[in-house]
């Protein structure tokens, strides 16, 4: 009986206690490189709340750091007793990497959005454009040729801005801008369709007589809606914060990220007390 007890103790020590101890000894320093503030860049890494370029850089640096942590962690071979914790730690790192990528997408959007505003401001009624550019636009065809590349450029920029990558974030501010943007695109397409339906040699001053009062009013409304969209975007840019992006405030899985981080933290605390 004594022999069996001794054999059991040896088995426990070699197969369970020692591997667990060695794993804990290796994993704690990996964890301590990030700690409870797991994955969050420090606020001092950006100049101010509008520093979205700085936020992108901070997120990329953090992403590289977390990837290094992950690479070190996957090299460990956890004993059976530690496999659940090991997977939780890996899951947490994956959530962090996902949050960092999410943040980079958001920051790039707000960084590039002023370019869309700039191009929208180029879409002006023909009289204002002609005066500004000192350009003679006397026929419907000339007006179409003038507006068509401007409209196409702004639509291309908007399509790039509202890619599938940004839409999966389900951000209410971005979704609102997109909704208004889609109305703008429909309006721009409407104007070009109207112009394309009229003889290109028709003098511009006779164009109004070639379309209905309803069509004319709808065309005018397009320019009013663009001005509203510009103001809306500019106000949203002012209220958006790079600090919120760095702190994952709008990250859809933030609750999972926080809860899992706390569970990992609690387990590490247990390891350190033993």
31-45, 113-127, 141-155, 185-199: least confidently modelled range: 31-45
How many whole angstroms separate alpha carbon 102 and alpha carbon 143?
42
Residue 274: per-residue pLDDT:
66
CA atoms within 13 A on the CB side of 110: 28
- 3-state DSSP assignment of residue 75: coil
Residue 161: per-residue pLDDT:
87
Are 206 and 143 in contact by the 8 Å Cβ rule? The answer is no
pLDDT tens-place string over residues 127-150: 555 544 546 778 888 888 888 999
Is residue 177 predicted with pLDDT exceeding 80?
yes
Instruction: Grade residue 1 by pLDDT with cuts at 50, 70 and 90.
Output: very low
Inter-CA distances, 197 with 1, 140, 192, 207, 210, Å: 101, 10, 9, 11, 10
Distance of alpha carbon 177 from the chain centroid: 14
Inter-CA distances, 51 with 106, 120, 157, Å: 12, 23, 22
pTM for the whole structure: 0.79
Is residue 123 predicted with pLDDT exceeding 80?
yes
Is residue 202 predicted with pLDDT exceeding 60?
yes
Categorise residue 71: left if φ over 0, alpha if ψ from -120 to 50, beta otherwise: alpha
1-15, 116-130, 151-165: least confidently modelled range: 1-15
How many whole angstroms separate alpha carbon 185 and alpha carbon 47?
35
pLDDT tens-place string over residues 49-99: 889 999 999 999 899 999 999 999 999 989 888 899 999 999 999 999 999
pLDDT tens-place string over residues 4-19: 343 333 333 334 446 7
Residue 4: per-residue pLDDT:
36
Residue 173: per-residue pLDDT:
87
Q: Which two tokens stand for residue 50?
A: 């509008």
């Amino acid at each position: 009986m004594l022999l069996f007890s001794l054999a059991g103790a040896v088995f426990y020590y070699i197969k369970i206690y020692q591997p667990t101890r060695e794993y804990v000894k290796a994993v704690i320093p990996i964890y301590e490189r990030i700690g409870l503030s797991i994955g969050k860049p420090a606020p001092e890494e950006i100049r101010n709340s509008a520093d979205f370029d700085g936020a992108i850089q901070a997120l990329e640096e953090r992403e590289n750091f977390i990837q290094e942590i992950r690479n070190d962690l996957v090299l460990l071979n956890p004993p059976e007793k530690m496999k659940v914790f090991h997977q939780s730690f890996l899951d947490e790192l994956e959530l962090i990497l996902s949050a960092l990528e999410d943040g980079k997408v958001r920051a790039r959007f707000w960084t590039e959005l002023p370019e869309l505003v700039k191009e929208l401001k180029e879409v002006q009624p023909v009289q204002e454009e002609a005066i500004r550019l000192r350009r003679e636009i006397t026929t419907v065809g000339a007006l179409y040729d003038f507006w068509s590349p401007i409209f196409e450029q702004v639509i291309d920029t908007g399509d790039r801005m509202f890619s599938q990558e940004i839409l999966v974030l389900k951000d209410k501010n971005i979704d609102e801008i997109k909704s208004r943007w889609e109305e703008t695109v429909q309006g721009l397409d409407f104007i070009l369709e109207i112009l394309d339906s009229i003889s290109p040699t028709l003098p511009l001053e006779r164009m109004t007589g070639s379309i209905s009062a309803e069509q004319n009013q709808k065309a005018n409304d397009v320019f009013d809606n663009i001005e509203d969209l510009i103001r809306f975007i500019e106000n949203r840019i002012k209220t958006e914060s790079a600090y919120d992006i760095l702190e994952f405030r709008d990250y859809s899985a933030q609750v999972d990220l926080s809860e899992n981080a706390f569970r990992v933290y609690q387990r590490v605390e247990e390891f350190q007390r033993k």
